[in-house]
């Protein structure tokens, strides 16, 4: 399973690089950083992207997926990106998360203990 996780992280970092971000940072970390640190008119963009990603990974990671990814990569350089690159990033996030939202919810249905243990919930109580 660690091989698959590494491949998925590599794809995620590639998507971030294609969208004008640091190739050593995941999309979630980039969004988490910018949602917490950017001021001005693009703040709402980053908050929307954060909402979409957090919703997608909620069944696996709980409500703060992007913030936790940012904290794991807090020593990296996080790039804001141009308007064009943010448009590319939006497409990557929206299309990817539409697909991944279904996968994460199916995973929780098939392996419910993984979900409960990650969120610190005991379904038997």
Span 75-102, average pLDDT: 93
Residue 27 CA to residue 70 CA, distance in Å, equals 9
Residue 38, in any domain of the structure: yes
Q: Which domain holds residue 95?
A: 2-119
Q: pLDDT tier at 118 (50, 70, 90 boundaries)? A: low
Residue 125, in any domain of the structure: no
Residue 109, in any domain of the structure: yes
pLDDT of residue 81: 83
Q: What pTM does this model have?
A: 0.86
**Span 43-86, pLDDT tens digits:** 999 999 999 999 999 998 889 999 999 999 889 988 888 999 99
Domain count, the chain: 1
Residue 80 CA to residue 33 CA, distance in Å, equals 9
Residue 124, in any domain of the structure: no
Output the CA–CA distances (angstroms, integers) from residue 28 to 5, 50, 80, in the order listed.
15, 8, 13
């Amino acid at each position: 399973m660690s091989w698959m996780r590494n491949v998925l992280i590599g794809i995620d970092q590639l998507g971030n690089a294609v969208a004008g971000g640091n190739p050593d940072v995941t999309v979630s970390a980039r969004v988490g950083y910018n949602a917490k640190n950017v001021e001005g008119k693009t703040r709402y963009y980053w908050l929307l992207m954060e909402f979409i990603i957090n919703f997608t990974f909620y069944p696996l990671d709980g409500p703060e997926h992007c913030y936790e990814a940012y904290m794991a990569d807090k020593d990296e350089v996080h790039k804001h990106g141009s308007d064009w690159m943010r448009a590319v990033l939006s497409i990557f996030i929206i299309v990817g998360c539409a697909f991944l939202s279904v996968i994460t919810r199916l995973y929780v249905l098939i392996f419910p203990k993984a979900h409960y243990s990650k969120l610190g919930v005991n379904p038997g109580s």
